[in-house]
Amino acid sequence: MSNAVYYVSYKLKRGASVPDFLLASENLNNGHISKQKGYISWTQLYDKKKNLWADYCTFETMDDLNNFLKVSRNPGELAKKFYSFMRWNPLNFRTHFFIVEKQYGFASEEKE
């Protein structure tokens, strides 16, 4: 089976502290997300020109990702803290779900 990726882009509230946001992200990852079945990684991306953030979360399977999303419907304190930095305008959020078809340059790939 192919890995599954959850990709969401968003903006932070005006005046939000980026170091505090990143600490909330780390706490959420370490205290919750990384403990979910099939979790592989969470990468945070930032486009400085557009002040746009994106999360790229990878799970072993789409079933694992869907289970994570079900659990996430009832956010705990770590998630609430993370969400408190975000602008909750639907125009700011873009969510996508992908299946990994091919990867290049990862250490786990066999070298030729």
Q: Chunk the chain into consecutive blocks of 10 residues (it has 112) and report each block's average pLDDT, rounded to whole numbers.
A: 92 96 98 97 96 96 96 94 89 84 70 44
Q: What are the E-state strand segments in the chain?
A: 4-10, 39-47, 52-59, 94-99
Per-residue pLDDT at 82: 97
Per-residue pLDDT at 83: 95
Domain boundaries, the chain: 4-99
Distance CA 23, CA 44 (A): 12
What is the residue type of 30? N
Per-residue pLDDT at 89: 75
Domain 4-99: CATH architecture, name and number where available: 2-Layer Sandwich (3.30)
First to last CA, the chain: 23
pTM equals 0.85
